Amino acid sequence: MKVGDLVKMKYEMFWHLKSNPRIDYTEDVATVITCGSHIMEIMWPDERIEQRDKDIFEVVNEIR
């Protein structure tokens, strides 16, 4: 994953996150702002910025 990529939560995360009340599953697409080795900062369509684990997301559209 790189800066500018569009990402969304993996479908299988619905079942993993069901037991974690702090993180809700969503099918919205987010934009990667910064990306580290395990954590990335993403911006949701409502302009909310969050830091999340890279493992729960998949790339929808890559920036070349």
Q: Which position has the higher pLDDT, 42 or 20?
A: 42
Residue 46 lies in a domain: yes
pLDDT score of 15: 79
Geometric angle at alpha carbon 48, from 46 and 54, rounded to 5°: 115
Residue 1 lies in a domain: no
How many domains is the chain built from?
Answer: 1
Q: Which position has the higher pLDDT, 50 or 12?
A: 50
What pTM, to 2 d.p., does this model score?
Answer: 0.81
Find all residues with CB under 8 Å of 63, minimum gap 6, and list them.
2, 3, 4, 5
Residue 14 lies in a domain: yes
Is a pLDDT exceeding 80 seen at residue 64?
no
Per-residue DSSP letter, 23? S
CATH number at 46 reads 2.30.30
Confidence of residue 12 (pLDDT cuts 50, 70, 90): confident
Residue 11 lies in a domain: yes
> Between the CA of residue 6 and those of 15, 16, 18, 43, 61, what are the distances in Å?
22, 22, 24, 10, 5
**Domain residue limits at 45:** 6-61
